[in-house]
């Protein structure tokens, strides 16, 4: 066989061919690596799973689909409980109760408990210890934080006691309040015991003094509940202060864009983009507390403006973890400054979302004013966080919690079932009528089908809460032969015009009553569902259909 000579034409061509192939492979590899490096976006650390990412990022025609069932906020997303603020209460445990008992034993002036077995002394510390032990055994999903001294109930053997608590499934540090009436008795060793606990908020003598709201034009009392205000809610709007303080500040101001009157998922995605940019730029975000509620959540089926952010979300928590200022106060201070000072406030107007946060990082202007005057979808706030900016802007999901006032309703519903219940999420509505995308949903969630399927999942005669968008209250009546059924509408008194929620939202709304709208219903349904011991979902549990339609079953 003849050797290959590099000087031969055939040898030269073969060497050139091999060199070209190697160089092409190298160039192609570099190109692929460059494309990956440019397009790669690290996952948002505030998102807990691909499923959650899909909830907030699924876009169709540049606007978000509305999922009127499960809505997650910061306290649902957190993988670990949020750190408690300084001075917060440590949960009561069996060890702390035993320590209290040891202290009592040292006090020789206390009675032994056997001197008068037919008299219950509610102020005796041993009564409180008996109640604390009972609660720890009975309500295992609750962390009890502190108790008031028990007081007499309506009968000689009854004691009313109030306490503060938090649910162990909730990731926030928020505290809630209950007061119950306990029927007390004695053990064989003369110690106190709980014979029977009362229902949620049954210990009326232990609740705080009522604050009544009067004020009607004719001198008669207004028809507003004389209930107890939650003094732990502080959602007052922060005041900017002096002109000099205003001038020293650095602000990020977003004009209203096309996001207004879109669904709440869209609103949250956009709002948290803006808040995330403000944090990236180390600026105070100028916030419009007025929300337009999309028609999907209203009884009128029309968009409704003038809703307060504080109706739906925890403003107290937001202002504790973020630097924010109310838009009204900000614009007032800005206008007053321009009237009283010759030197105007330095303003950088940004007309296009394509000007990235990275380009604004070193801007020295007191106010960066993003304006969204382009037609949709170019005027959506969340466009600021797309593309390369997604590597730098982290949406602060931890800043958004559901309203404490709504969470008080969640606690009332869960507490009325003694925190021992199962829940079923039944999605029907428009989806059940769309046979093209969900051919089996209607039949799979029919009353007969629900009875058959739930009997294999939930034990008979359990408390069962049904979170649903089914409008007909009696739709689930067949389940009542097998379970103690609870629906959101069973608790209308919690937001009716004799309720604490009605009182507080009316005050917040300048004396105008606030309707309990569709988004509030979804928030409450969602949180009650999360607190259930067994949770049954429509998709993956009850129906053969996929959540997003035919052939769209997700594995994440």
DSSP calls for 231-292: TT---PPPP--SHHHHHH--EEEE---TTTTS-HHHHHHHHHHHHHHHHHTT-EEEE--EEE
- Evaluate the CA torsion angle 76, 78, 79, 83 in order and state its sign: negative
Q: How confident is the model at residue 35 (pLDDT cuts 50, 70, 90)?
A: very low
pLDDT confidence tier of residue 70, bands split at 50, 70 and 90: low
Omega prior to 242 cis, within 30 of 0: no
pLDDT, mean of residues 295-307: 94
Strands 158-167 and 176-186: antiparallel
What pLDDT is recorded for position 15? 62
CB 269 within 8 A of CB 57: yes
Closest CA to 471 of 438, 430, 507: 430
Mean pLDDT calculated for residue range 216-231: 46
Q: Sorting pLDDT into bands at 50, 70 and 90, what band is 38?
A: very low
pLDDT > 60? residue 110: no
pLDDT band at 31 (very low <50, low <70, confident <90, very high): low
- Sign of the C-alpha dihedral computed for residues 482, 488, 489 and 493 taken in this order: positive
Confidence (pLDDT) at 81: 58
The mean per-residue pLDDT over the stretch 342-349 comes to 92
- What is the spatial distance between Cα 418 and Cα 420, in angstroms, rounded to a whole number? 5
Q: Is the pLDDT of residue 224 over 80?
A: no
Average pLDDT, the chain: 84
pLDDT grade, residue 208 (50/70/90)?
confident
Tokens of 279: 């944090």
What is the pLDDT confidence band of residue 80, given thresholds at 50, 70 and 90?
A: low
Q: Three-state DSSP class for 519?
A: helix
Q: In the chain, pLDDT over 70 holds for what percent of residues?
A: 79
pTM for this structure?
Answer: 0.82
Structure tokens at 426: 């039944």
Residue range 142-158: mean pLDDT, rounded = 95
Q: Please tell me the predicted confidence (pLDDT) of residue 26.
A: 64
Tokens of 235: 């959602």
Tens-place pLDDT, residues 377-422: 999 999 999 999 999 999 999 999 999 999 999 999 999 999 999 9
Question: Residue 1: is it exposed, middle or buried by C-beta count within 10 angstroms (0-12/13-18/19+)?
Answer: exposed
pLDDT above 90 as % of the chain: 65
Q: Which residues, 6 or more positions from 50, have their beta carbon under 8 angstroms from its beta carbon?
A: 554, 556
C-beta atoms surrounding 502 within 10 Å = 21
Is pLDDT of 111 > 60? no
Nearest to 78 by CA among 50, 57, 48: 48
């Amino acid at each position: 066989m003849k050797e290959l000579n590099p000087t031969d034409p055939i040898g030269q061509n073969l060497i050139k061919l091999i060199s070209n192939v190697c160089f092409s492979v190298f160039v192609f590899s570099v190109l692929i690596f460059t494309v990956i490096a440019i397009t790669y976006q690290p996952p948002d650390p505030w998102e807990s799973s691909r499923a959650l990412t899909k909830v907030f990022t699924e876009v169709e025609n540049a606007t978000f689909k509305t999922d009127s069932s499960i809505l997650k906020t910061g306290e649902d997303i957190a993988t670990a409980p949020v750190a408690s603020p300084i001075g917060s209460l440590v949960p009561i445990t069996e060890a702390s109760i035993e320590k209290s008992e040891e202290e009592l034993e040292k006090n020789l002036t206390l009675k032994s408990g056997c001197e008068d077995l037919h008299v219950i002394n509610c102020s005796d510390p041993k009564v409180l210890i008996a109640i604390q032990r009972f609660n720890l055994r009975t309500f295992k999903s609750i962390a009890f934080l502190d108790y008031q001294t028990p007081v007499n109930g309506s009968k000689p053997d009854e004691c009313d006691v109030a306490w503060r608590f938090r649910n162990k499934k909730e990731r926030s540090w928020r505290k809630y309040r209950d007061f119950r009436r306990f029927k007390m008795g004695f053990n064989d060793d003369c110690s106190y015991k709980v014979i029977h606990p009362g229902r949620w908020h049954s210990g009326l003598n232990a609740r705080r003094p009522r604050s009544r709201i009067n004020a009607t034009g004719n001198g008669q009392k207004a028809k507003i509940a004389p209930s107890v205000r939650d003094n732990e809610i502080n959602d007052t709007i922060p005041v900017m202060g002096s002109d000099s303080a205003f001038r020293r500040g650095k602000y990020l101001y977003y004009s209203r864009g096309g996001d207004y009157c879109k669904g709440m998922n869209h609103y949250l995605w956009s709002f948290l983009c803006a808040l995330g940019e403000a944090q990236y730029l180390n600026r105070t975000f100028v916030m419009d507390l007025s929300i337009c509620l999309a028609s999907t959540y209203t009884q009128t089926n029309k968009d409704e403006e003038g809703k307060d952010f504080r109706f739906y979300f925890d403003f107290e928590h937001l202002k504790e973890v973020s630097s924010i200022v109310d838009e009204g106060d900000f614009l007032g201070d800005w206008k007053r400054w321009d009237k009283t000072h010759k030197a105007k406030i330095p303003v950088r107007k940004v007309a296009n979302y394509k000007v990235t946060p990275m380009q604004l990082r070193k801007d020295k202007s007191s106010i960066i004013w993003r304006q969204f005057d382009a037609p949709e979808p170019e005027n959506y706030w969340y466009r600021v966080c797309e593309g390369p900016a997604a590597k730098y802007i982290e949406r602060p999901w931890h800043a958004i919690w559901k309203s404490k006032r709504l969470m008080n309703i969640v606690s009332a519903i869960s507490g009325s079932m003694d925190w021992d219940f199962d829940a079923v999420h039944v999605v029907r509505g428009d989806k059940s009528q769309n046979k093209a995308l969900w051919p089996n949903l209607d039949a799979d969630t029919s009353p007969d089908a629900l009875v058959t399927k739930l009997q294999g999942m939930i034990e008979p005669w359990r408390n069962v809460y049904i979170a649903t968008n089914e409008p007909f209250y009696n739709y689930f009546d067949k389940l009542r032969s097998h379970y103690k059924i609870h629906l959101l509408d069973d608790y209308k008194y919690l937001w009716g015009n004799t309720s604490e929620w009605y009182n507080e939202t009316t005050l917040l709304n300048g004396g105008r009553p606030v309707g309990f709208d569709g988004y509030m219903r979804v928030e409450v349904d969602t949180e009650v569902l999360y607190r259930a011991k067994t949770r049954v979902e429509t998709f993956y549990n009850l129906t053969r259909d996929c959540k997003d339609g035919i052939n769209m079953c997700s594995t994440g």
